[in-house]
Structure 1
Amino acid sequence: MTFLFFLIACGAAAAAGLIFPPGGWYDGLRKPDFTPPRWAFPLAWTTLYLLLAWVGARLAGLPGAGPALALWSAQIALNTLWTPVFFGARRPGAAMAVLAVLWLVSAALVVAAFRLELLSGVLLLPYLAWLTLAGALNFRIWRDNPAPR
């Protein structure tokens, strides 16, 4: 039941991608060579959201997990916020700011998870790696596609 709660939270974050899909605007942007193929995004995010839900459920059963769960909640909120800022408002600079805070909160979550349980910390590493790639991609899109004046 606890896993389901965290899975619903991840599902809400994923729903932002359905509400604000990439579309033609994103297709027309200059993107760096390291941009993953379009099919990789839903595959990666599905995997990552399942891992996040699993970690959240694992942490919820551990004593002293309050700070880690607060970080988990903050990261899923920031994760959800990034999509409408980047794809909805088409503001890569503002999205980069959201992503920078998301990365910091997620890094703190990884540390907190490792302190509570090795497996939970390890399960979060792919998420932090993907956020690092997403940050590099967001930055390059922001830099290489100046806003019209």
Structure 2
Amino acid sequence: MTFFVFLLACAAAATTGVMFKPGAWYESLNKPSFTPPNWAFPVAWTIIYLLLAWAGYRLSLIPGSQTVLALWAAQIALNTLWTPVFFGAHQVLAALMILLVLWLVVAAMVVLALQLDVVTGLILFPYLAWLCVAAALNFSILMKNRT
């Protein structure tokens, strides 16, 4: 049952991608050469959200995991916030600031999760790696589209 609570939280975060689609504005941006193809984003996020739910579930079973679970809650809130700020409000700098805080929260979550359970910590690494790509992409878009 607990797995489905984490999965539901991830699904709620994912709905922002349905509500705030990239659209013409995103297509018109000058993007870096390392920009993943459009089909890669939903594939990557589906995998990441499933891994996040699994990691949250595993953490919920470990005594003393309250701090990591609080970080899990913080990251899903920040994750949910980024899409409407970037794609909805077109606030690239504000989205980058959110992403930097998100990266710090996820990095701390990975470190603490590794201390509690190595497998759970490793489950979170793809998320952190994708956030590195996302931050580089967000930063590059900011730099290439200054007006």
Asked whether the two chains share a fold, i.e. TM above 0.5, the reply is yes
Q: Distance in 1 between matches of 2:142 and 2:84?
A: 15
- Per the alignment, residue 112 of structure 2 pairs with 112
Deviations 1:77-116 (A, max 9, x none): 0000000000000010000000000000000000110011
Shift of 1:43: 0.3
Q: Distance in 1 between matches of 2:93 and 2:80?
A: 17
Query: Alignment length, in residue pairs?
Result: 147
Find out whether 1:99 has 2:99 as its counterpart.
yes
- Per the alignment, residue 82 of structure 2 pairs with 82
**Ranges in structure 2 where 5+ consecutive residues have no aligned partner:** none
Structure 1 outlier segments of 4+, above 3 Å: none
Q: Distance in 2 between matches of 1:14 and 1:103?
A: 18
**Ranges in structure 1 where 5+ consecutive residues have no aligned partner:** none
SS of 2:99's equivalent in the other structure is: helix
Q: Distance in 2 between matches of 1:15 and 1:91?
A: 19
Shift of 1:31: 0.3
- Per the alignment, residue 139 of structure 1 pairs with 139
- Per the alignment, residue 125 of structure 2 pairs with 125
Q: Distance in 2 between matches of 1:59 and 1:137?
A: 30
Deviations 1:26-46 (A, max 9, x none): 000000000000000000000
Find out whether 1:11 has 2:11 as its counterpart.
yes
Q: Distance in 2 between matches of 1:87 and 1:142?
A: 13
Q: Distance in 1 between matches of 2:62 and 2:106?
A: 19
Find out whether 1:25 has 2:25 as its counterpart.
yes
Opposite residue 102 of structure 1, the aligned amino acid is L
Opposite residue 36 of structure 1, the aligned amino acid is P
Among the aligned pairs, what percent are the same residue?
Answer: 61
Q: TM-score, normalised by structure 2?
A: 0.99
Cα RMSD (Å)? 0.5
Q: TM-score, normalised by structure 1?
A: 0.98
Q: Distance in 1 between matches of 2:108 and 2:33?
A: 30
Q: Distance in 2 between matches of 1:32 and 1:146?
A: 14
- Per the alignment, residue 45 of structure 1 pairs with 45
Q: Distance in 2 between matches of 1:115 and 1:81?
A: 28
Shift of 1:49: 0.1
Opposite residue 144 of structure 1, the aligned amino acid is K
Opposite residue 75 of structure 1, the aligned amino acid is Q
